[in-house]
Structure 1
Amino acid sequence: MSRSPLDRRTLLTGMAALSAAATVAPQASGQMVKRLAPTATPTRIAFGSCAHQSKDQPIWDAILAAKPDLMILLGDNVYLDTRNVEDMKAKYALLAAKPGFRKLRDAVPIVATWDDHDFGENDAGADYPMKAESRRLFCDFFGEPADSIRRSRADGIYTDYLFGPAGQRLQIILPDLRWNRAPLKTIDMGGQDYETWAKARHAAGKSVPGPYERQPEEGASQMGEAQWRWLEERLAQPADLRILASSLQVVSDFPGWEAWINFTHDHQRLIAAIRQKRANGLFCISGDTHYAEFSRLDLNVPYPLWDFTSSGLTEVWPVLPPNARRVGEAYRSQNFGLIEVDWAAGAVQIGIHDVVGQRQLAQGLRLADLRVG
């Protein structure tokens, strides 16, 4: 893997400026949440997903020790898995009580999206009946103001953030892949349940994808038309570096679990939008999988499309699904991601770090390579 060394003096200078730029905003529930001013230019951005509130969470200390300017939570930030609002509240309270999370929340601005478990149920989509209640609790917990558009959109909590001046402008885009998601389609398992089918394939030495099939139909979408129009408009905004922070993997090649590739039209429309809007400087980060890996797509894209998956903060998956676009090895233990931006060199370093902060995977990018030709 290529590695791009960063100028540590640049990072330390940026951190000092960011400390002055961070403000504190009240949550609707009365808690306090740090905000990062739009004029700030973050250069160290941590990210992660899949933190079960009932488990020990020592990884927050490692994240805090990495001194990020910003933390992006990519979903499954709690595991609600209920239709009882009081149970939902109790599970958020368990996360809030974790000492490591409290320290991180008090020191580092956090932006977040949700995935299925904090949306409400495993692999849930548009037909989940408690999504309004889930949204209210999510927005309260992450300090969305009472007039936040995330509280009132008709079709979900999607949003984006812009930081920094021209020449160092960072855009972070957080789509909502749950609120309007069409029903999933399962593969043919010969009448068996998934567990029996998967065990038989594993015993036969075959790869074991998840149970979901591709959906090529144009109307099958994770996001819905209104969110798509919003995303295309946001990709047209001026930015020097863009992070598409997706709860699900964007680039992986048919793992069989939930991923962008399962909705063929969405997958192709994203690539077309990057090209048509000349959205330079974009790479993806994602969660959900319970393992970490890097994926790269080179075919029929305006420039190499990277996806850096970090999962989970507590969760680990026992079987590694296939992914023809995987670059290098996957890392299969608790982990978080760290993005380090060197604006002077036009370089970005993305690392996957373990529960004590040691880097296990790394990849360097040059912004000059992420440009529409």
Structure 2
Amino acid sequence: MDDNVYADTLNMTALDSIYARQNRRPGHRALRESTRVIGTWDDHGANDAGCSYPKRDRSQAHVLDFMDVSEDHPGRERAGVYSTHTCGPPGKRAKVILLDTRHHRDPITRDPIGRQRYFPNEEGDILGEAQWEWLKRELRTSTAQVHLIGTSIQAVSSQHPWAKCANFPQARERLFRVIDASGVPEAVLLSGDRHISELSRHDEAAGDSLYEFTSSGLTHHAPMHEAANRHRVGPLVAALNYGLVTIDWAADPVTLRFEVRGTDNETLLDHTLSLSALRPSGGS
């Protein structure tokens, strides 16, 4: 979940050319040839743009083409780039839910003098009602044991000045409530956008915790700096990196491991979460 390409443009011919250039990159070609690639988008044609971006529908068609989404896929008919992907056999099933935090996102106003980049839109929405209902349905009807919910902008981390769900306080709390009310076992948020990587934990009043794994720095990274995040668990990683999530179904209890690795495959962050609600196959 990140900026698939950098294309601040209203020119769809130029956007098509930029995606084509990305597809010609040897590293990108090698990745697509070696594994299945899924995703959503962050900026969809202008930096930090939301529903006011006038070419959002045309831009959506381009990103779906870029990700080789078939012409008859239901996602082609939706307003927004959101989707689900389930893998694994019964009892060892993971469901990836990818949200679109741009297509329906209400406007925010730039703060020219404050420490925050934007004034919060207290009552603004991020997902749009159709996507909210879709998310609730996907969670309610899920048969998976682990749920990885992708949101291009960070949801838990709230103190940095950039694009984030905390710019929309009511929508952010709604997201947490929808996940909590769904009753699904073991939900974790995945996010990008920041050009840094980190693990965050949001502690609910009831004692439950919601983790967010941010991996953002495969091709660009921010310089090392102090970035406030009272929810952070472990180090802030400001280096070229990639994130890896590993489910160990044989462990007792089942574990979810979050790793951030550098350009030489060195470990920059490593945190293992025990999924106490799950038992390994054959366990009591």
TM-score using structure 2 length: 0.91
Distance 2:26 2:112 in 1: 45
Residue 240 of structure 2 is matched in structure 1 by 334
Distance 2:219 2:81 in 1: 24
Matched, 1:277 2:182: yes
Q: Is the 8 A contact 1:174 1:244 kept in 2?
A: yes
Deviation beyond 6 Å, 4+ runs, structure 1: none
Distance 1:328 1:367 in 2: 19
Residue 368 of structure 1: SS of its match in structure 2?
coil
Q: How large is the RMSD of aligned CA atoms in angstroms? A: 1.7
Residue 119 of structure 2: SS of its match in structure 1?
coil
Residue 105 of structure 2 is matched in structure 1 by 181
Q: 1:301 to 1:238 in 2, by over 3 A?
A: farther
Which residue type is aligned with residue 166 of structure 1?
P
Distance 2:129 2:192 in 1: 24
Residue 276 of structure 2 is matched in structure 1 by 368
Residue 283 of structure 1: SS of its match in structure 2?
strand
Residue 295 of structure 1 is matched in structure 2 by 200
Structure 2 gap ranges (5+): 279-284
Matched, 1:316 2:243: no
| TM-superposed deviation, 1:302 | 6.2
Distance 2:206 2:46 in 1: 34
Specify which of 41, 50, 64 is matched with residue 139 of structure 1. 64
| TM-superposed deviation, 1:320 | 4.2
Distance 2:70 2:154 in 1: 29
Matched, 1:350 2:274: no
Larger RCO: 1 or 2 (CA < 8 Å, sep 6+): 1
| TM-superposed deviation, 1:252 | 0.4
Q: Is the 8 A contact 2:111 2:118 kept in 1?
A: yes
Residue 35 of structure 2 is matched in structure 1 by 108
Distance 2:19 2:3 in 1: 11
| TM-superposed deviation, 1:288 | 0.3
Matched, 1:91 2:18: yes
Distance 1:210 1:320 in 2: 15
Residue 151 of structure 2 is matched in structure 1 by 246
Q: 1:270-319 CA deviation, whole Å, 9 max, x = no partner?
A: 22112221022111111000111111111336621111111121212245
| TM-superposed deviation, 1:215 | 2.9
Structure with the higher helix share, 1 or 2: 1
Distance 2:112 2:70 in 1: 46
Q: 1:103-162 CA deviation, whole Å, 9 max, x = no partner?
A: 11011001010001xx10100110101112211111111111111122111x21111112
| TM-superposed deviation, 1:165 | 2.2
Specify which of 235, 245, 260 is matched with residue 139 of structure 2. 235
Residue 111 of structure 1: SS of its match in structure 2?
coil
Matched, 1:77 2:4: yes
Matches within 5 A, 1:178-257: 178-187=102-111, 189=113, 209-217=115-123, 220-236=124-140, 237-257=142-162
Q: Is the 8 A contact 1:75 1:114 kept in 2?
A: yes
Distance 1:170 1:244 in 2: 11
Residue 282 of structure 2 is matched in structure 1 by none
| TM-superposed deviation, 1:349 | 0.8
Residue 70 of structure 2: SS of its match in structure 1?
coil
Distance 1:132 1:215 in 2: 24
How many residue pairs match? The answer is: 274
Q: Is the 8 A contact 1:274 1:280 kept in 2?
A: no
Q: Is the 8 A contact 1:275 1:302 kept in 2?
A: no
Residue 112 of structure 1: SS of its match in structure 2?
coil
Q: 1:163-203 CA deviation, whole Å, 9 max, x = no partner?
A: 222211111000100111000134472xxxxxxx6xxxxxx
Q: 1:205-252 CA deviation, whole Å, 9 max, x = no partner?
A: xxxx541233332xx111111111111111112220000111111110
| TM-superposed deviation, 1:84 | 1.1
Largest Rg, 1 or 2 = 1
User: How many percent of aligned residue pairs carry the same amino acid?
Assistant: 35
TM-score using structure 1 length: 0.70
